[in-house]
Amino acid sequence: MSEKTSIPLSLTHDGEKYAGWATPSDKHHADGRASSYHVVLNEVFFGDMSFSNNQWVISEQRPHGLVVAVEMALQQALENEPAASLK
């Protein structure tokens, strides 16, 4: 098993600053991307986020606007990460 690389996250929503990370799961899609990410914001578990059928889904009930902001931050971070670190 290879060492997981956490992806740093930083965002602002409704005037509140959030910082944390997303850690990819051990399971992967056919294209090699992780099937979900364990997300922590401001030192608190936010939820497990997965991308399926062209949409992000979260395991925990969270405010919709904040979920959308985290989705955007995660998507941007994934687009900026080298492919090898996403596996």
pLDDT per residue as tens digits for the range 17-60: 999 999 999 888 787 788 899 999 999 999 999 988 888 899 99
| Strand bridging mode 44-52 / 36-41 | antiparallel
Q: Copy the structure tokens of residue 31.
A: 């294209």
What is the reported pLDDT for 2?
40
Q: Provide mean pLDDT across the span 61-73.
A: 95
Number of separate domains in the chain: 1
Task: Tell me if 64 is assigned to some domain.
Answer: yes
Task: Tell me if 2 is assigned to some domain.
Answer: no
| Strand bridging mode 7-13 / 44-52 | unpaired
Q: Which residue has the tokens 């991307």?
A: 33
In the chain, the DSSP E strands lie at 7-13, 16-24, 36-41, 44-52, 55-58
Task: Tell me if 87 is assigned to some domain.
Answer: no
